[in-house]
Amino acid sequence: MSNRLVRVYRAAGRTLAVALLAGCNVSLAGAQPVPVFTPSNDDQTFIQLREASRKNDAARAAQLAALIPGYPAPSYLEYFQLKPQLFDAQGKARADAPDEQILAFLKKYDGQAIADRMRNDYLLVLGARRDWRNFEPQYARFVLDDDTQVKCYALEARAARGENVADAARALLVEPRKFGDGCIDLVSSLAASQQFSSDDVWQQIRLAYEQNQTTTGRKLVDALGAQSPDPALLNQAVSTPPLVLTRGVGPDTPSHQLALLAVARMARNDPALAATTFATVAPSLSAAERATGWGTIGYQAAVKQMPGAVDWYRLSANGALSSAAYEWRTRMALVAGDWAMVRWSIEQMPATLRNQPAWIYWHARALKQGGDSAQANQEFAQIAQGFNFYGQLAAEELGQKITVPAKTTVTDAEVQQAGMTPGLALAQRFYQLNLRLEGNREWNWPLRSMSDRELLATAEYARRIQLLDRAVNTADKTKVEHDFSLRYLSPFREIVERDSQSNGLDVEWAYGLIRQESRFILNARSEVGASGLMQLMPGTAQLVAKKIGMGPVSRAQMNDLNTNILLGTNYLAMVYNQFDGSPVLATAGYNAGPGRPRAWRKMLSGPVEGAIFAESIPFQETRDYVKNVLSNTVYYAVLFEGRPQSLKERLGYITP
């Protein structure tokens, strides 16, 4: 790491007078203050109606809707009454859903976001009924098409017409937690029509149990039909897997598959014991089955950061693995520095996985390491235009520093026109009520058909009305014309700079973190209780406040702009000081707690690139967080310092 980076990131004294909190005015250039919004009684009733609808309590929803017949969101008033009539309290589609009312709703609100939401719900009902005659025309009009269950029903509908959809189904069926009844029905249907072999079904069963989706796994067993295993043996493989493995493997297919299921279950708890036990039965299996078993063990060992993971994975070539297992095999090869293994591991991934930017980048690195620079550069060029972590790294491999594209400036007239876009006013009302799901749905809906200039005008409109997260996310969607000052907003600059500098931190790093944590939503609150711009947990906030001499802080103080940034930057500096000048480790520690990256670091047998360490973080949230924060940081540095930057330089190397 350069002297400059050491200077920039080194936390120089962290004591900051609490008096700095007094008298700081928060300003946002070009924006008007948003008045404090107090929900009315009708608003409170509407929020309760939404909750009743979410719980599929049709009677309660009807009762609440009757209290606010003129509420100024009529489409949602109707939707929240109708949706609970499509599903029962357990979320199962109702066979007796009121088709006429649903079709009338879809016609009345045709072309609006809420109609697409209702169409999503209705497709689940039609799919559960196997009503393909009505399903297919509705599916053709489903715009977002982002529901895995609906996609499964769509494949089942095509299969019912005689189309072979087996390959499409294999590509889709990778996340059992999203399967629901629709995808279980698809597997059963394809097995019944012999588009799926018993091996296909068993692979789905193992995938479900590997991901601990046990209810889904048991339901999928039914798709085997006459080839289903003895229920008692299945229960042993799932609940007491050593009994199955120590008994040995018979010559029949169910016995082989139960052995693979048992090793998958056993490896979840103890990969080393699973490996020892599996070695005794592996000779009775085919080469492909052995590879699958070793890959399953390698996967569970990898997520537990066990040093033997890469060795077990080396035995898994050409095995049928889950997407997660393929990815972790490559990560373990990267950590081990085995570039030949990196290459063949990626080449054995399914195409949809292999073509993701991360694996294009690492495959190109493996090619380059093996001396094939020409092909490597072609692959780097495929992703180097992407404004993301791996796009930045690929650009640097091609000899380019990180810059931002030329700024496209929109006029006030364009911004004014953007503010009149249908749906945005309703979105703003939902944001006032802290109904962000509905707000985002209404805001994002008209963006689909906008040009880059219209997107930038809408982003600037959002900035001016202080919907800063919408400004960032909307500007992030442009393809050719860009404004990175909107993509990478820097509001509250005086406060962020003051507290960053007082703690010896790069202001761009602080902004990179805030952008990822909260998208500048002042009252952001996570599912686990973190709050404010810098998403501080209550316990962390109290600890930092005590260390800097503030004493106890209330929840209101934690969410106060000045206090939140003060505590957040102090905490980042405290974490950073524990990790020898590594922003990778410090960023991971800010998200997951300092103890975890310290433990991950101890597992290393030698120095690794910061990018490899980031890619091999075992928590997906933290892995993505580190990449995004440091990618953000580089773009902020370009904007703030006015010169090209290097992501690789910032990532540095991580030593044991």
What pLDDT digit, counting tens, does each position of 548-607 carry? 999 899 988 888 999 999 999 999 999 999 998 899 999 999 999 999 999 999 999 999
Domain total in the chain: 4
Structure tokens at 85: 């009539």
Query: Global pTM?
Result: 0.92
8 A C-beta contact, residue 310 and residue 335: yes
8 A C-beta contact, residue 559 and residue 524: no
Residue in this structure with the two tokens 């309703």, named with its chain if needed: 426
Same domain, residue pair 513 and 445 = no
8 A C-beta contact, residue 487 and residue 466: no
Q: What is the pLDDT of residue 35?
A: 53
Q: Is residue 344 part of a domain?
A: no
Q: What is the pLDDT of residue 209?
A: 97
Same domain, residue pair 186 and 45 = no
Same domain, residue pair 56 and 180 = no
Same domain, residue pair 607 and 517 = yes
pLDDT in tens, 454-469: 999 999 999 999 999 9
Can you tell me the distance from the alpha carbon of 348 to that of 528, in angstroms, rounded to the nearest whole number?
A: 38
Same domain, residue pair 100 and 166 = no
Q: For residue 596, give the CATH number of its domain.
A: 1.10.530.10
Same domain, residue pair 53 and 190 = no
Structure tokens at 160: 């019912």
Same domain, residue pair 115 and 155 = no
Same domain, residue pair 101 and 48 = yes
Q: Is residue 285 part of a domain?
A: no
Same domain, residue pair 128 and 13 = no
8 A C-beta contact, residue 512 and residue 591: no
Domain boundary among the residues 221, 243, 268 is at 221
Q: Is residue 400 part of a domain?
A: no
Residue 576 CB neighbour total at 10 angstroms: 25
Residue ranges in the chain whose pLDDT is less than 70: 1-36
Q: For residue 419, give the CATH number of its domain.
A: 1.10.1240.20
From residue 623, alpha-carbon distances to 156, 361, 589, 630 in Å are 35, 16, 11, 11
Structure tokens at 563: 């206090």
| φ and ψ of 397, to 5 deg | -65, -25
Domain boundary among the residues 432, 466, 483 is at 483
Angle between helices 132-139 and 148-160 (to 10 degrees): 130
Domain boundary among the residues 457, 483, 509 is at 483
Can you tell me the distance from the alpha carbon of 123 to that of 139, in angstroms, rounded to the nearest whole number?
A: 7
Same domain, residue pair 76 and 180 = no
Q: What is the pLDDT of residue 36?
A: 61
Same domain, residue pair 518 and 619 = yes
Can you tell me the distance from the alpha carbon of 76 to that of 54, in angstroms, rounded to the nearest whole number?
A: 12
- Give residue 65's domain range: 41-139
Q: Tell which residue, 320, 394, 318, 319, has the closest CA to residue 356.
A: 394
Q: Is residue 365 part of a domain?
A: no
